[in-house]
Amino acid sequence: MNVGRTLEADLRQRLQGLDSASLRRVLRELDSPQGPEVIWNGRRLLNFSSNDYLGLAAEPFLVEAGKEALDRFGCGSGASRLVCGSLTPHGELEGALGEWKGTEAALVFSTGYAAAVGTIGALVGEGDVVVLDKLCHASLIDGARLSGAAMRVYPHNQLHRLEAHLEWARRHFPEGRVLVVTEAVFSMDGDRAPLAEIVALKERFGAWLMVDEAHSTGLFGPGGCGLVSAAGVSAQVEVQMGTLSKALGGSGGYVCGSRALVDWLLNRARAFVYSTAPSPVVSAMGLAAVHWIQGNAASARRRQLRENMERLEAGAAGMSGGRKAESAILPLIVGDADRAVAASLRLLESGFWVPAIRYPTVPKGGARLRVTVSAVHSPAMIDQLAEAFSAMGPFSEGEGGQALSH
């Protein structure tokens, strides 16, 4: 059917398909840094879309750390660190991450996506099993798929189904490695995984656990070091993964764990071995952020974030079905993609940036507005958003309500 058709014609038709399903995405260019307010097309918008939960993306002390590193180390890393050498900021960042998380060692990747894909593929392969929560991020799913291991997916946070998959894995792959993968805070739903219970299960079956703390690191737990630590299971979670691109305001993925884990990954994680190291500039900013996040100023911002989460939770109760804010992410389930897009556009016209999240990021029928709040939103900004929600009225019940209960 596609024989002889040009790539251009093929893509145009496929883009039209996205258009007609309200699934086409476009870029909007901002003429400002990320922050609670952004400038788009000359208009000031209140920004409730970003994962910059502590307001560090344009923080002056981080910008300064970046400038200093730029002067000392330049902008490029040259090659993979195995080929041309590891620069001082890379090693310093890894030392600080390991100390913060209380692990023997750490390894940084260019992105969280690369950390996820590289790590899963290095730990398991054919003859092994990966068991993932249904709502795991695309990077974790892609890592599992690429690894060649058998993949099993359990309904979101349903421990008896995880247990059944672990039994299955032990029956069918008695010699195989078994890796369980979950997020600590789920990126599109904002709820948390029952980490202590998952740890108990994986221990019972002799499986290993990888926890992605993308949306919890820097925000929860002692010194912001995450929910694995808060749950008291650091010693039992073999792979603590996360990113410096969210609460830490910069970019770059990390894995924390044993020395053996890091030594293996730097030999076998293809996303590490075959990719140029992060720029020394972003690694130096990461280092400054990891130091800052353990101090008093960060604790004050985390307190402010918690207050802001509660304010949003109360202000959006009419739209969220009274959902508790377990994180800085509050999903307002709409259901249909076209209605979610329309709601997002209406908010944009009123001066609010709240993204519509659609298939394939979330299941069909589970389209939503994903509201994220940061420590540097003022109470007045959150109240303004709540007023805009009241003016819109609740989304009608239907598929959306079901999607919420997964």
Q: In this complex, which beta carbon is closest to ligand PLP, that of residue 136 or of residue 169?
A: 136
**Given 90, 165, 202, 215, the catalytic residue:** 215
Q: What is the DSSP string of 40-78?
A: ETTEEEEE-----TTS-TT-HHHHHHHHHHHHHH-S---
**Residues in CB range of 27: below 8 A, 6 or more apart:** none
51 assigned to active site = yes
Per CB under 6 A, the list member of 117, 214, 247, 281 interacting with ligand PLP is: 214
Stretch that binds ligand PLP, among 32-40, 147-155, 211-219, 384-392 (CB under 6 A): 211-219
Is residue 116 a contact residue for ligand PLP (CB under 6 A)? yes
Stretch that binds ligand PLP, among 207-215, 355-363, 367-375, 376-384 (CB under 6 A): 207-215
- If one asks whether residue 133 binds ligand PLP (CB under 6 A), the answer comes out as no
121 binds ligand PLP (CB under 6 A): no
Tokens of 193: 């995984």
Q: Which is nearer to ligand PLP, 214 or 325 (CB)?
A: 214
115, two tokens = 């950390």
Q: Is 172 an annotated catalytic residue?
A: no
| Phi-psi label, residue 245: left if phi above 0, alpha if psi -120 to 50, beta otherwise | alpha
Note if 137 is an active site residue: yes
Cα separation, 219 vs 284, in Å, equals: 20
CA angle 200, 202, 207 (to 5 degrees): 150
Residue 77 annotated to the active site: no
Given the structure tokens 């890379």, which residue do they identify?
A: 90
- The SS3 assignment for 244 reads coil
In terms of CB distance, is 244 or 375 closer to ligand PLP?
Answer: 244
Tell me, yes or no, if 245 is annotated catalytic.
no
Of 81, 90, 137, 358, which lies in the binding site for ligand PLP, with binding defined by CB under 6 A? 137
Q: How far is the CB of 47 from ligand PLP (least distance, A)?
A: 17
CB of 112 to ligand PLP, least distance (A): 2
Q: Are 130 and 152 spatial neighbours (Cβ–Cβ below 8 Å)? A: yes
Smallest separation (angstroms) from ligand PLP to the CB of 228 = 14
Give yes or no for a contact between 243 and 256, defined as CB atoms under 8 angstroms apart.
no
How many Å apart are CA 288 and CA 285, to the nearest integer? Answer: 5
Interface region with ligand PLP, contact rule CB under 6 A, candidates 8-16, 208-216, 292-300, 358-366: 208-216
Going across the sheet that includes 43-47, the strands are 37-40, 43-47, 352-353
Is residue 10 part of the annotated active site? The answer reads no
Q: Per rule CB under 6 A, is residue 117 in the interface with ligand PLP?
A: no
Helix/strand/coil for 297: helix
What does the DSSP assignment read for 187-213?
Answer: TTT--B--HHHHHHHHHHTT-EEEEE-
| 217, 243, 283, 308: residue in contact with ligand PLP (rule CB under 6 A) | 243
Contact set for ligand PLP, span 363-392 (CB under 6 A):
none
> Measured from the CB atom, is 89 or 315 closer to ligand PLP?
89
- Is 187 a residue that touches ligand PLP (CB under 6 A)? yes
Does residue 203 carry a catalytic annotation? no
Q: Residue 206: CB partners within 8 Å, gap ≥ 6?
A: 170, 178
Interacting residue with ligand PLP among 59, 189, 212, 313 (CB under 6 A): 212
Question: Would you count residue 253 as binding ligand PLP (CB under 6 A)?
Answer: yes
Q: Which active-site residues does the annotation give?
A: 51, 137, 183, 187, 212, 215, 246
The footprint of ligand PLP (CB under 6 A) covers 111-113, 116, 137, 139, 183, 187, 212, 214-215, 243, 245, 253
